[in-house]
Structure 1
């Protein structure tokens, strides 16, 4: 099942940084950016997270919460968040339940070998919990600015 724009996003709960559990339905009334990245503390994921960190005040002004998700364990997520001074929640999705909900586990090739991994993807969920916009196969440069523009436009609507 692939989520379509305009559809309600099914509720989920997952372990998150700060010894918390993130539950999507608890964020109703605010827009939510859920971005999926392949692996904590790798170059592209560090750059992407840093871009979200650096624009967080702008996302806050647009009534938008940022949530990063990968299959890394909670300890790796905590270390990544602390080392990069991320000012938003990271979710540990070791069982891939959130990844599968958003259909981001894809067959990838690395050094000629195939494996299942996270396709870098971002989802903007509106105040009512419906999918407003999806970006799949994301390239990091300029991506956060594009997501921010969409969040600002949605918030103004």
Structure 2
């Protein structure tokens, strides 16, 4: 069961920072950006998270919630969020349920357990997948996602 463009995204509930849970259906009426990153507190993931943090007000203006997801445990996510002053929830997908739903686990060259491919998804206010970015390169990425969120919100 993976996601498809222009199709509803299956509901999920996930454990997030701040002793909270995130349920997709409870965000109906708002756009949602879900970005998957390989590992908390690593350079690329810190840069990407900082870019989302620094543009959060613009995402808010575009009626868009930001959610970061990795397979790190909740304690690592809490530490990452606090240290980087992230102003959005981070989801601890330790069982890789969301990673599988969004099909972001990819084989590593060394044959070890699959790695998480840096990917971002934009879900519209009705819960349909509007855009996806896979194999993301961090520089300029958040600006591209923000432009898509703003354009989608203007259509809505």
Q: What TM-score do the two structures reach when normalised by structure 2? A: 0.97
**Structure 1 unmatched ranges of 5 or more:** none
CA distance in 1, matches of 2:146, 2:153: 10
Aligned residues, how many? Answer: 154
Q: Identify the structure with the greater strand proportion.
A: 1
Look up the match of 1:7: 7
Alignment of 1:84-95 (within 5 A): 84-95=84-95
2:142 partner SS: helix
Look up the match of 1:129: 127
Alignment of 1:42-61 (within 5 A): 42-61=42-61
* CA shift for structure 1 position 114: 2.7
Q: What TM-score do the two structures reach when normalised by structure 1? A: 0.96
Deviation string for 1:5-57 (max 9, x for gaps)?
10000000111000001111110000000000000000000000000000000
CA distance in 1, matches of 2:32, 2:115: 23
Question: Does the 8 A contact of 2:2 with 2:100 survive in 1?
Answer: no
Look up the match of 1:148: 146
* CA shift for structure 1 position 135: 0.3
RMSD: 0.7
* CA shift for structure 1 position 3: 1.7
Look up the match of 1:98: 98
Runs of at least 4 residues of structure 1 off by over 6 A? Answer: none
CA distance in 2, matches of 1:65, 1:45: 18
**Structure 2 unmatched ranges of 5 or more:** none
Look up the match of 1:72: 72
CA distance in 1, matches of 2:29, 2:7: 16
* CA shift for structure 1 position 4: 1.6
CA distance in 1, matches of 2:68, 2:88: 8
